[in-house]
Chains A and B, each alone.
Chain A
Amino acid sequence: MSATDDTGEGLEGPDREGVAAEYALGTLSAVERAEVASRLDLDPELAEAVARWEARLAPLAFAVSEVEPPAGLWPAIERRVAAIAGGGRPALHVVKESVATPEEEPSGAWRIWAIAATIAAVALGGLFVRERMMERSIPGEPLVAALSADGKGPAYLISVDVAKRELTIRRVGAETPADRSHELWLVSDKVGKPVSLGLVGGQASRAALAQYDPATFEAATYAVSLEPRGGSKTGAPTGPVLWSGKLEPLPKTPSAR
């Protein structure tokens, strides 16, 4: 049974109500959820059906015990909201103004991937402290993401040069079956549907992010799905999402951890 086919039919056919109900319940797969979410802004009828289901079930959510969130959460939210509200971008994303960027040298490039790998290792070890990383990050340095499946080593590493709006993806642990392709997707509710950034066949490849504003691509989730050879024929992910991750700033002194 293919979950994707179900949703594909369900969203058009008589089963929309069932899809809306399961979206609100939470039992659709990642790909099905992304499909429904991307429709909500364009399909008021579906949005209405989902809103009704959310309202029907909401009393159960209120019955879940409250838990006081950690103190660091509010400052992190405030920083992101300040950036949106135009109160200045957070320091870590300010682009370095100097002309000569040491990161462009081969040794610098190597260093970035070494740090990215360190972040991935630390993140997977459960020691990842986002707040501390943010304080240590260097303005203008790339953002990096480790694409992994829960509890396993990263399959791909991503580095994004915010100033150039350019993404580089490097294979570290992934094997592509001979008859299939790995396709990289940018997933953001600001964009709607997951957008393909291309196939990620080789050791390292680049993708332009020029059409997205930095707030969008910095906060997006990057996901690699398994697709037929040559990539998805539909423009949307059709195979399972194998690995995913979000961008993080580079720590300033990874060796000192």
Chain B
Amino acid sequence: MQPTVRRSEDLSRLLGACADGDREAFARLYQASSAKLYGIALRILRRSDLAEEAVQDAYVRIWRRASDFDPARASAVAWMAAIARNRALDIARLKTEAPLDDAPNAGDAILDAPSPEAEAELNDELRRLAACLEELESDRREAVLLAYRSGWSREELAARFGRPVGTLKTWLRRSLMSLRRCLET
């Protein structure tokens, strides 16, 4: 896997070729992005069979919807990551009982060892977001991180923080609005 293909302009170009039905480009797109998408899905679903299902569905959707990708709206990797996350979350939410087996402090660190490419490429954006997250109260920040990265539901978060589900919903919505305000200033 060559790091050069990871650059978002290259991924964008590959997505453009996929929209034209280029299966070769699709194979290279998979090569360049599958470890990222699988990592994201596995973190949420914590089971390799389910993560495989999510990523498989995600790439089929990426192929089908490649022509919808708009580089002005999001980077190629952000667009693909959102598709994989959404599929993983759909699967996670359809399970009525999700296990609470994440490490107790899984949500604390904002960064888990990003790849050097990811660091170089996204440092500014990530640093800004991390700074805004730091402004939240620590339990709220942890709730947002557990929800976003580990796919925890409101119910799971409510159990974890010993608060009613409605309170967690309020926490999450207020935290998100604070993040938006912070990012926009």
Residues of A within 8 A of B (CB): 1, 17-18, 21-22, 24-30, 33-34, 37, 51, 53-70, 72-74, 76-78, 80-82, 84-85, 126, 128, 130, 149-151, 189, 219, 221, 223, 240-242, 244, 246
Query: How many angstroms from the CA of A195 to the CA of B171 in the assembled complex?
Result: 33
**Is B172 in the interface zone, CB < 8 Å from A?**
yes
Q: How many angstroms from the CA of A82 to the CA of B180 in the assembled complex?
A: 41
Chain B neighbourhood of A1, CB < 8 A: 165-166
For residue B15, CB closer than 8 A to chain A, the reply is no
Q: Which residues, 59 to 111 on B, are CB-close (under 8 Å) to A?
A: 59-61, 63-64, 73-75, 77-78, 81-82, 85-86, 89-90, 92-98, 110-111
List residues of B whose CB falls within 8 A of some A CB: 21, 23, 26-27, 30, 34-40, 42-44, 48-49, 51-53, 55-57, 59-61, 63-64, 73-75, 77-78, 81-82, 85-86, 89-90, 92-98, 110-115, 118, 122, 125-126, 128-129, 144-145, 147-149, 151-154, 157, 165-166, 169, 172-173, 176-177, 179-180, 183
How many A-B contacts if CB must be within 8 Å?
A: 190
CB pair B176 A74 closer than 8 Å: no
Contact A68/B35 with A59-B125, A221-B94 known, Cβ cut-off 8 Å: yes
CB distance from A234 to the nearest CB of B (A): 20
By the criterion CB–CB under 8 Å, are B85 and A61 in contact?
Answer: yes
**Chain A residue at minimal CB-CB distance from B109:** A63
Closest to B52 in A: A73
